[in-house]
Amino acid sequence: MANPPYEFIAGPHGPQVRIQARGADVLNFPMVNRGTAFTWPERHALQLTGLLPPGVTSIEAQVRRVYGQFCAQSGNMAKYSYLSGLRDRNEVLFYRLFSEHIEEMMPIVYTPTIGEVIQRFSHGFSKLRAVFTSVDYPEQIQMSFENFGLASDECDLIVVTDSEGILGIGDQGIGGVQIAIGKLGIYTAAAGIDPHRVIPCVIDVGTDNMELLNDEFYLGARHSRIRGKAYDDFMDQFVETVSRMYPNALLHWEDFGANNAHRVLEKYRDRVCSFNDDIQGTAAVVMAAVLSGVKTVGHKLREQRVVIFGAGTAGIGIADLLRDRMVREGLTKDEANRNFWCLGSHGLIHGGLGDQMRDFQRPYARSVEEIKYWGVQDPDNVDLLEVVRNIQPTILIGTSARSGAFSEEVIREMAAHCERPIIMPLSNPTSRAEAVPADIIEWTEGRALVATGSPFKPVEYKGITYEIAQANNALVFPGLGLGVIVSKASRVSDRMIAAAAEAVADIQGVVPRGKSLLPSVNHLRMASGVVAVKVAQSAYNEGLSEIKLEDPVQEVYEAMWQPQYPEIILPEGDWRDYEDDLKARRYAERLAKRQAAKAGAAPPPEEAPAGDQPG
């Protein structure tokens, strides 16, 4: 762009912005608009005089005002619409508000509210700052990213989805772009990823959602999902184009369907710097909670017997990361695999299931011989209670989205053989959780160490208040992204993922009874910084980064974008015009007073200099 309307630059004392736009155009760019926080000299220089109320407001006062407006909204969708509108008007103010109220607003900006936003996407469409690509127009991939407007060295992070596995609502077609936008919002609020250096993107490969295909307002491709070779060819072209255009950007895969998520991650992770939050991010935050729990009970992870109920992409991703940690603790890979019992749609995964297993589940298949003597009702569908009864697990993890699957009988059976069972019903939303914390604590007589996927209020039991850890991916992925960006890592390795998990676990240390296994979401900014330091150091130690941080804490902190209005840089003459005008006005006022005094008339009222207008 020959003459961009604005340009961000690094100044000697912080970020600066050079603004070429003038008048109402300035107010139309959310990246530079600051509304009533424009000072009078800035208003004069940018030709905003008369376009704003006269009062000048600090950003702190603006935050208080917009928070009051946010609280006045009725219902989560109304609150989402308000925040979305604020982001479209004033991006700095939006992120300042979000950062200061992150625990309260994350369920609005992201899950669960974002699910409803996605479902309504085509009906409520308004302008979005995102890239839309389509399997029907592969030749337009490069043009689409060029039109977004970032140069090759101006992009740090791209979040991309094909919308097949959106949260708990499945295939949402083109509307999945909102999940990428929401994810990037958390990256910025939690870890200070610069919002001007990111791209949200959706890959439209069609949809198998018949309701969308028959909706007159649907804005995506009106055909079923493209699969097989055509899908793979498009993905190859997409990855090649993006990695060529933005060679230093982290590619974040989000909400791909179960059949593609593992496959896409494994295919490209050694070619480009990429990461799948549903698989690796979920695994990392669960690993953090598990490590915190194991440390609390005084054991080693390699000594645990782990049952994973829900052996999809998230469940197996958790198993993979925990297994690798067991290997680092001294087990062989085969020995570590034997510490896991995974259940899918056909019950316990074992060798007798044959083609009913997915490829990524096979390493955890139990032998048919093992269950031969368990006394189960149906060897082809071994249920959770039968597994718990026979192997007496110490850790139970749920990623099945089956409400109530962790029944009283299952939990009591587990607790009968384990003094401090670690139990994690992780499915979202709350209505799909395998159990609720209050029941787990009661059924284990307060002995269980509990983490959930959804937020739950503390539980009172026999005089002790139990804080419930939320295994929220936001404890991991923002800091992981920041660490990759700071270190300019060429790849995201399993060891870097594990370093992120270990960093989160170390924040809590040994947990007293009743305290949370994980840090509060309110402390995301701190947690992200801690994670970023460990990830950057791990990348360097593995040879995936050439940058050795000499002062890791300071360097990571300085890399975090702050939601503050940058200094405005304008041609010197623009400021001088204002000063000359101010001097002329003051001279005219003094002259009018002298003339009035000579004529014996009352002098005109004193007018405050424009630079001193009330704020």
∠ CA 133-188-71, nearest 5°, is 105
How many Cα atoms occupy the beta-carbon half-sphere of 610 within 13 Å? 20
Q: Determine the residue type at 529.
A: G
Strands, E assignment, 60-196: 131-134, 157-161
Dump pLDDT digits (tens) for 75-104: 999 999 999 999 999 999 999 999 999 999
Whole-number Å distance between alpha carbons of 78 and 72: 10
Sketch the domain layout of the chain as residue ranges.
106-272, 280-559, 572-612
What type of residue sits at position 285? Answer: V
Taking 70 as the threshold, does the pLDDT of residue 582 lie above it? no
The CA–CA distances, whole Å, from 368 to 265, 352, 591 equal 30, 6, 102
What one-character-per-residue DSSP string does 6-24 give? Answer: EEEEEETTEEEEEE---TH
CB 102 within 8 A of CB 94: no
Beta bridge partners, 250, equal 157
Residues in CB range of 96: below 8 A, 6 or more apart: 59, 62, 63, 563, 564
At 453, list the tokens: 């996927």
In single-letter form, the type of residue at position 429 comes to P
- Does residue 178 register a pLDDT over 50? yes
Indicate if 280-559 has the same CATH topology as 106-272. Answer: yes
Cβ-contact 342, 348 below 8 angstroms = yes
Active site residue 548: no
Q: What pLDDT was estimated at residue 519?
A: 95
Helix (H) or strand (E) holding 134: strand 131-134
Position 490 scores a pLDDT of 97
Cβ contact 434:403 at 8 Å: yes
DSSP readout, 348-389?
Answer: E-BGGGGGGS-GGGGGGPBPHHHHTTS--S-TTS--HHHHHH
Is 80 annotated in the active site?
no
How far apart (Å, rounded) are the C-alpha atoms in residues 381 and 346?
A: 5
Q: C-alpha dihedral over 251, 253, 259, 260, to 10 degrees?
A: -30
Measured distance CA(237)–CA(245) in Å, rounded: 12
Question: Predicted confidence band at 323 (pLDDT cuts at 50, 70, 90)?
Answer: very high
Task: Categorize the per-residue pLDDT at 328 as very low, low, confident or very high, splitting at 50, 70 and 90.
Answer: very high
Among residues 518, 307, 465, 500, the alpha carbon closest in space to that of 392 is found at 307
Structure confidence at residue 14 (pLDDT): 84
- Catalytic annotation, pick one of 110, 187, 364, 565: 110
Q: pLDDT digit string (tens) for 493-512?
A: 999 999 999 999 999 889 99
**pLDDT surpasses 50 at 1:** no
Between 541 and 612, residue with greater pLDDT: 541
Mean pLDDT of 410-431: 94
Q: What is the pLDDT of residue 169?
A: 86
CATH superfamily membership of 106-272? Malic enzyme, N-terminal domain (3.40.50.10380)
Is the pLDDT confidence value at 288 over 90? yes
- Please give the radius of gyration of the chain, using alpha carbons only, rounded to the nearest integer: 28
Active-site hit among 79, 80, 183, 295: 183
Cα–Cα dist 43/56, whole Å: 10
Give the pLDDT band of residue 580 (cuts 50, 70, 90).
low
For helices 477-487 and 552-559, angle between their N-to-C axes, nearest 10 degrees = 100
Q: Kindly compute the dihedral angle of the four CA atoms of residues 510, 514, 516, 520, in this order, to the nearest 10 degrees.
A: -130
Provide the pLDDT for residue 455: 85
In this prediction, residue 610 carries a pLDDT of: 43
Instruction: Look at residue 258 and tell me whether its pLDDT is greater than 90.
Output: no
**Segment holding 460, helix H or strand E:** strand 459-461
pLDDT in the model for residue 181: 97
586 pLDDT exceeds 90? no
Over residues 113-157, the pLDDT tens digits come to 999 999 999 999 988 999 999 999 999 999 999 999 999 999 999
Helix spans in 257-358 (H): 258-268, 282-297, 313-328, 333-337
What average pLDDT is seen over the chain? 93
* pLDDT (0 to 100) of residue 587: 60
Q: Are 327 and 340 in contact (CB under 8 A)?
A: no
Q: Are 27 and 5 in contact (CB under 8 A)?
A: no
pLDDT above 70: percentage of residues in the chain:
94
Residue 531: how many other CB atoms lie within 10 Å:
32
3-state secondary structure of 429: coil
Domain 280-559 has CATH 3.40.50.11540: no
Residue 244 φ/ψ, nearest 5 degrees: -75, -40
Contact yes or no for 398/306 (Cβ under 8 A)? no
- How far apart CA 382 and CA 377 sit, in angstroms, is 8
DSSP one-letter code for 154: S
Quote the pLDDT of residue 608. 44
- How many CA atoms lie within 13 Å of 418's alpha carbon, on the beta-carbon side? 31
What mean pLDDT do residues 407-425 have?
98
Tens digits of per-residue pLDDT, 448-471? 999 999 889 999 999 999 999 999
